[in-house]
Amino acid sequence: MTSAEGVKGMEAAKLAEYVLGRKKLFILDVRNNENYADWRIEGAGIATVNLPYFELLDDIEPAVKLIPHGEPVLVVCAKEGSSVFVAEQLTEAGVPDVSYLIGGMKAWSEHMEPVKAGDLKGGGELYQFVRPGKGCLSYMIISGGEAVVVDAMRMTERYLAFAAEKGAVIRHAIDTHLHADHLSGGRRLAEQTGADYWLPPKDAEEVGFAFRSLDEGAEIAVGCTAIALAAIYSPGHTIGSTTLLIDGTYLLTGDILFVSSIGRPDLAGNAESWADDLRETLFTRYKGLPQELLVLPAHYGKVGELGERGLVAAELGELFRRNAGLAVADEAAFRRAVTGDLPPQPHAYQSIRLANMGKLNPTVEEQREMEIGPNRCSIHD
């Protein structure tokens, strides 16, 4: 795509191909240093440098000197405007293959890419929707012309289009817990499709809308092959956090267990009281499950967690061997780890929780601003 100014624009979907496909790309990020340090585009094939826009207004040469020979160059800013100017200057300076990110980091934050996680035993498929700009993961289970969406993002049109592409009707939308790092699209998706919206009751005591109760032991059938989604109560990140066991094979752990870390218990101000719940979930409930189950979390925090094709997954037994959060079995040490020196809390997390309760109704632009930045749902950066 070429802009009116004559420089190329790159869509977020194309950038996702570089990130998930581990292809080489040089990124010149022209946001201010603070924003860059807090949150930036990362990938196995991505090299990135930060030169603020205002430093390049009078002289583009400092940027030209940093650009490697023979690699595509992408200029990135918050919303697009500054990156267009810098991309023009680089092109005029003779740098080949320069693009700017269309929509800037806001567009990158919203992009989702479906990655197939596996086939279901009786027919059907399971897809993981990777949101690389925030490290968020959501899921769609498809069977017999019906679909279930788990931990949906607010960009519900992506799920609607994908389900239509697969010839499926969305019958259920499920949130594994009351989210604090991103705005849930579950309720909106249910309203758009007539689907049932499920939420753990202990997380929903203050919500202002109707929902179906995601209780432990609940089973939700999907399609003619009756793929069962069994609910397992697993508190710790929130008091209502619930894990989904799908097809006896896949374990959707929400924000309780990640590939490289574990969930944090402090986002509702209850770190001390929820630390014991978290430990019980991990070292008793999860330890007692079949260790060959494939863990599919609701977030990832590091580029290294992206596997083949971008899939974020690992066997439960493998995580008990190598996950840093699961290495702290001692009760006192565990409590210190999950209540002590934690990373910064997610941006606007208190407002996000209220919005997910139905107590705030932010505009589309306000929603974008609320979600800017990394997810920060684990106890490790």
CA 98/CA 86 separation, integer angstroms: 10
In sequence order, the 6+-apart residues with CB closer than 8 A to the CB of 333 are none
136 is catalytic: no
Q: How many CB atoms lie within 10 A of CB 192?
A: 15
In sequence order, the 6+-apart residues with CB closer than 8 A to the CB of 37 are 50
Instruction: Please check whether residue 268 is in contact with residue 180, taking contact to mean a CB–CB distance below 8 angstroms.
Output: yes
Pick the catalytic residue from 77, 136, 224, 377: 77
Question: Whose CA is closest to 287, among 244, 226, 234?
Answer: 234
Instruction: Kindly list the catalytic residues.
Output: 77
